[in-house]
Amino acid sequence: MTENWTVLKVLRWTSDYLDSKGVDNPRLDAELLIGSALDKDRVGLYLCYDQPLLADELTHIHQLVARRAQREPVQYILGQTEFWSLKFEVSPSVLIPRGDSEILVEEALRLINGADSHSCDSVLDIGTGSGAIAIAIAHEFMHATEQRQLQVDAIDVSLQALQVARANAEHNAVGQRINFYQHDMAELNNFVTEHIEGGYGLIVSNPPYISSAEMNDLMPEVSQHEPHLALEAGEDGLDCYKLLSAQAMIALQPLGWLAVEVGATQAQAVQHLFEQAGLSNIFTRTDYSGITRVVGAQKTGSED
């Protein structure tokens, strides 16, 4: 006699199976994968625990679970994730947006809305990836008055990433509010000279910051599936910060700000780079676990 697989039985089996494969949060991932296969959210699953599953439903669930057991991120399997309470399409072409980066968005909004706020009415997101940071910022100003229009530009060296970012901007109703460009941060000053007079009021970036040695210690979900171009940044993990700080004095307008996300042990080194570059009013911001996650600095004085 054919075994009767209900939603609850499959959920329990899947959770145990993923746990045996070393997956973090196996119960949550099981709920998300099964919910996706059945077109139900997590609450919907709870309401149909006793529902028997059809053969094609079991096959679909098996396919999704097999991918997760190979440590493919659940966000790639589902094709989407949430950031800043917005839905984002994700693929192996882009880094999966993480909650840590919302701290950078919070700091960007603080600077934009600060006492000298109109000096931050032009924003550049460097290494935009999925577009999460630029889109979150632009979304906050969807209903801005004509007196406070925000120019948001975003660059990435990856054409595939930009395709994802543009789609995400459209899906979140800010497609007309962000300009996306394919450009390398190593030639940031050339880009700025071509696209804006006098520099940007605010530059934000969550750049690659994993050292070459650390790449070997990353979880399989990251090391085997997420784009290394968006992760690795040389022997000390500081290559991108060196590029940004070296070009900041030209890329920023007077009184403009540079704010970046940093790795858990990098804040002091990045502050030093900013100081060497001639930036001032350096600040840091910790995440909700007490880890310094953002370093920012200002270009003070007038242009030479």
Q: How far apart are CA 180 and CA 177, in angstroms?
A: 10
Q: State mean pLDDT over 29-58.
A: 93
- State whether residue 36 is helix, strand or coil: helix
Query: Domain for residue 228, yes or no?
Result: yes
95 with 40, same domain: the answer is no
- What's the domain range around 27? 7-70
160 with 285, same domain: the answer is yes
| Domain CATH code at residue 102 | 3.40.50.150
DSSP string, 118-177: GGGSEEEEES-TTSHHHHHHHHHTTT--GGG--EEEEEES-HHHHHHHHHHHHHTT-TTT
Q: How far apart are CA 224 and CA 210, in angstroms?
A: 14
The answer to whether residue 115 scores a pLDDT higher than 80 is no
117 with 174, same domain: the answer is yes
Query: Domain for residue 283, yes or no?
Result: yes
Query: Domain for residue 304, yes or no?
Result: no
Contact 161, 235 (CB under 8 A): no
The amino acid that residue 36 corresponds to is S
24 with 171, same domain: the answer is no
pLDDT averaged over every residue in the chain? 92
Count of domains in the chain?
Answer: 2
147 with 274, same domain: the answer is yes
Q: State mean pLDDT over 49-56.
A: 92
How many residues does the structure list for the chain? Answer: 304
* pLDDT tens for each residue of 211-226: 998 988 999 999 999 9
The answer to whether residue 146 scores a pLDDT higher than 60 is no
pTM of the full structure: 0.91
Give the end of a domain, one of 17, 38, 70.
70
64 with 95, same domain: the answer is no
226 with 106, same domain: the answer is yes
Structure tokens at 175: 């497609």
* pLDDT tens for each residue of 161-220: 999 999 999 999 999 999 999 999 999 999 999 999 899 999 999 999 999 989 889 999
Q: How far apart are CA 267 and CA 21, in angstroms?
A: 34
Instruction: Give the pLDDT band of residue 252 (cuts 50, 70, 90).
Output: very high
